């Protein structure tokens, strides 16, 4: 996407010049009593969780394009200045804002993060970090140069599950790990349709132009906003964009996967408007110093894995013979000695066969906890505390979130290109498909007025 590259070249200078850490950053212990001055962009829907997670801090501005969706937040915090346009908010409130928390649809993450970087603000952004692979790579470089504290919203990454699993894998509990499965019941919104919904008059309290932002102008439809946008290529990244940054963390962080070397997809109901109704996406990752290569299978739209080694059909896996649906979201990571299960957010890790897990516990042979655990069991407060101490949280953009989101987004590219796509992590290009390379960036030109500079 040419716009983003031009934007980045100017942004690098803007961010470096604008970045200014708060005076209390890294100060004496009583700095913990200081409240971070946060502006929230998107306060309805998912933004409600941001308000709850950051309510101990000082809200200096609320920004939302939909007054009706934001009404609850406005009523609860009547004295917080309100804006519909994040650009106006930054212009008028820039000196009052130390950090921003972003809970908008996926297509607006990238431009708003760029705008925040241009103003030197610390950033919390919902997952997935971006809508395209190239956006993630640009932000990875931009935030590193800007020097701000960043966090992607991923509740599970602040918790114990993936750390426990990684300790198990590195201790050899599962043997040589070679395969992973992740599945979800998403989408729970329409996907796989062939044409755009019919436009209707825009609700009076919604600024539809601001909602569209960088996306092409199009008539409003309640079949797009406020909820179903994830199913559209223009705004979201479907089931894998919604859930992979949660459930795939079990393998991405647990096995330190990095970027894949190939990706292959089998979608059902593909169109140029909507993401597929269901899909199976297979990633291949190279080995590293602690393990061999790993094949990872992602499944959505009701698809479930079957015949996992060491796992008998039980409540976790679908069992059509007994008319059981199985767990809606889950993961299995398979080794030569055992398979390890985790639910959504890498929670409740368990070793299969279950008898093997029981034997390890009874023999006091479970690996010790050696990886550091965040003091706060809140990804919001981990970010706040890291801003105060001048350190980066675990799910920061440069070291984690950009590559993790980019990996999932490589899967969305495979949905539209048949066959096995070979990918070079060093050059960040596909080696066997020009079409796939064209899909690394946005398929539409962004409206420049919504980008900084």
Task: Please give the Cα distance from 262 to 433 (Å, whole number).
Answer: 12
Residue 4: predicted pLDDT? 44
Q: Tens of pLDDT along 74-126?
A: 999 999 999 999 999 999 999 999 999 999 999 999 999 999 999 999 999 99
Q: What b-and-e string marks burial along 4-33, b requiring 16 or more CB atoms within 10 Å of the CB?
A: beebbeebbebbeebbeebebbeeeeeeee
For residues 425, 16, 63, 6, the Cα torsion angle rounded to the nearest 10 degrees is -60
Kindly state the helix (H) or strand (E) to which residue 301 belongs, with its residue range: none
Residue 19: predicted pLDDT? 39
Where in the chain are the domains?
2-155+377-402+434-450, 158-191+234-362
Closest C-alpha among 328, 394, 409, 406 to residue 153: 394
Find all residues with CB under 8 Å of 75, minimum gap 6, and list them. none
Closest C-alpha among 387, 145, 189, 424 to residue 284: 424
Task: Please give the Cα distance from 18 to 2 (Å, whole number).
Answer: 24
Alpha-helical runs (H) found in 178-232: 208-212
Residue 316: predicted pLDDT? 77
φ and ψ of 309, to 5 deg: -55, 140
Residue 217: predicted pLDDT? 97
Which architecture does CATH list for 158-191+234-362? 2-Layer Sandwich (3.30)
Kindly state the helix (H) or strand (E) to which residue 142 belongs, with its residue range: helix 133-146
Distances (CA, A) of 411 to 39, 261, 283, 398: 33, 12, 8, 20
Q: Are 449 and 112 in contact (CB under 8 A)?
A: no
Alpha-carbon 448 to chain mean position = 25
Residue 24: predicted pLDDT? 37
For domain 2-155+377-402+434-450, give the CATH number: 3.40.50.720
Strands 294-300 and 177-183: parallel
Residue 77: predicted pLDDT? 98
Q: Longest Cα pair distance anywhere in the chain, in angstroms?
A: 67
| pLDDT under 50: residue ranges of the chain | 1-9, 12-32
Residue 323: predicted pLDDT? 53
Residue 34: predicted pLDDT? 85
Q: Tens of pLDDT along 128-181?
A: 999 999 999 999 999 999 999 999 999 999 999 999 999 999 999 999 999 999
Alpha-helical runs (H) found in 276-418: 354-362, 379-389, 402-415
Alpha-carbon 343 to chain mean position = 17
Closest C-alpha among 343, 353, 268 to residue 308: 353
């Amino acid at each position: 996407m040419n716009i983003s590259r031009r934007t980045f070249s100017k942004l690098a200078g803007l961010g470096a010049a604008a970045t200014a850490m708060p005076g209390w950053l890294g100060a004496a212990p009583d700095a913990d009593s200081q409240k971070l001055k946060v502006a929230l962009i998107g306060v309805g829907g998912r933004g409600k969780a941001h308000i709850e997670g950051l309510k101990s801090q000082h809200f200096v501005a609320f920004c939302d394009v939909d007054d009706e969706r934001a009404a609850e937040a406005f009523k609860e915090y009547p004295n917080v200045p309100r804006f519909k346009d994040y650009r106006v908010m930054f212009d008028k409130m820039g000196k009052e804002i130390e950090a921003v928390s972003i809970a908008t649809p996926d297509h607006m993450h990238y431009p708003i993060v760029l705008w925040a970087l241009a103003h030197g603000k610390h950033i919390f952004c919902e997952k997935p970090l971006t809508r395209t692979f190239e956006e993630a790579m640009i932000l990875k470089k931009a935030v590193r140069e800007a020097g701000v504290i960043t966090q992607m919203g991923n509740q599970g990454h602040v918790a114990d599950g993936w750390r426990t699993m990684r300790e198990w894998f590195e201790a050899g509990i599962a043997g040589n790990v070679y395969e992973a499965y992740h599945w979800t019941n998403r989408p729970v919104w329409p996907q796989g349709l062939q044409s755009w919904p019919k436009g209707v008059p825009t609700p009076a309290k919604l600024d539809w132009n601001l909602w569209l932002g960088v996306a092409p102008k199009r008539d409003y439809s309640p079949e797009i906003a406020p909820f179903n946008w994830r199913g559209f290529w223009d705004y979201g990244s479907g089931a894998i964009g919604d859930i992979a940054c949660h459930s795939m963390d079990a393998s991405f962080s647990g096995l330190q996967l990095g970027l894949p070397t190939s990706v292959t997809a089998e979608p059902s109901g593909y169109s140029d408007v909507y993401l597929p109704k269901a899909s199976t996406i297979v990633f291949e990752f190279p080995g590293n110093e602690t393990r061999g290569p790993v094949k990872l299978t992602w499944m959505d739209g009701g698809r479930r894995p079957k015949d996992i080694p060491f796992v008998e059909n039980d409540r976790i896996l679908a069992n059509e013979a007994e008319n059981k649906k199985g767990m809606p979201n889950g993961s299995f990571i398979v080794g030569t000695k055992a398979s390890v299960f985790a639910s959504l957010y890498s929670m409740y890790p368990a070793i299969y066969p279950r008898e093997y897990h029981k034997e390890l516990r009874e023999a006091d042979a479970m690996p010790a906890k050696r990886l550091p655990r965040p003091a706060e069991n809140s990804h919001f407060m981990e970010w706040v505390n890291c801003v105060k101490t001048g350190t980066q949280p675990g799910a920061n953009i440069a070291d984690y979130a950009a590559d993790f989101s980019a990996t999932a987004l490589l899967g969305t590219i495979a949905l539209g290109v048949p066959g096995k796509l070979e990918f070079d992590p060093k050059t960040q290009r596909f080696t066997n498909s020009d079409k796939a390379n064209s899909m690394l960036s946005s398929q539409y030109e962004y409206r420049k007025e919504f980008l900084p500079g």
